[in-house]
């Protein structure tokens, strides 16, 4: 079997000068920073949720008001159209009566 490249007798350097207390302090500071960012974002999210809820309520109220206004407009237009038809019918009736037709003849014509 072939031997792998490199010497087995190579000395390995062990980094014994690692300051674990500094590494732990650094990681702890990093963790606290992330926790504070998460807390800030959570607070912002809660604030935005309350704003969204208020805006949705306002939108719902505005939609109701719009529907009421549209219904009133449609009713007013229908009433105006009915009045116009009634006025036209009265005008036609007056013309027919003025031309000498009797009420019976007019009724017969309408039917």
Instruction: Look at the chain and report how many structural domains it folds into.
Output: 1
Q: Is the dihedral of CA 104, 108, 109, 111 positive or negative?
A: positive
Name the pLDDT band for 59 (thresholds 50, 70, 90): very high
Q: What range defines the domain where residue 74 resides?
A: 20-110
Question: Given this model, what pLDDT does residue 75 score?
Answer: 96
User: Residue 1: its pLDDT value, please?
Assistant: 58
Look at residue 12 and tell me if it is in a domain: no
* pLDDT of 102: 77
CA distance 16 to 27: 20
What DSSP assignment string belongs to 8-49? TTPPPPP-TT--HHHHHHHHHHHHHHHHHHHHHHHHHHHHHH
Does residue 92 lie within any of the structural domains? yes
Q: Confirm whether 10 is domain-assigned.
A: no
Q: How confident is the model at residue 6, as a pLDDT?
A: 64
pLDDT for the residue numbered 26:
95
Query: What would the two tokens of residue 17 be?
Result: 């000068």
User: Is residue 63 situated within a structural domain?
Assistant: yes
Q: Among 64-73, 80-89, 90-99, 101-110, which range has the highest average pLDDT?
A: 64-73
- % pLDDT > 70, the chain: 86
98, pLDDT greater than 90: no
Mean pLDDT across the chain: 87
Considering the domain boundaries, does residue 48 fall inside one?
yes
29 domain residue, yes or no:
yes
Residue 30 covered by a domain: yes
Query: What's this model's pTM, rounded to 2 decimal places?
Result: 0.53
Is position 85 within any domain? Answer: yes
């Amino acid at each position: 079997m072939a031997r792998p490249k490199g010497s087995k007798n190579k000395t390995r350097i062990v980094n014994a000068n690692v300051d674990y207390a500094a590494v732990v302090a650094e990681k702890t500071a990093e963790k606290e920073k992330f926790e504070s960012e998460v807390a800030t974002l959570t607070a912002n999210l809660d604030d935005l949720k309350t704003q969204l809820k208020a805006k949705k309520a306002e939108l719902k109220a505005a939609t109701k008001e719009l529907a009421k206004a549209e219904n009133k407009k449609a009713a007013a237009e229908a009433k105006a159209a009915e009045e116009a038809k009634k006025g036209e019918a009265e005008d036609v009736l007056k013309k027919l009566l003025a031309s000498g037709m009797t009420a019976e003849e007019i009724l017969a014509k309408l039917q």
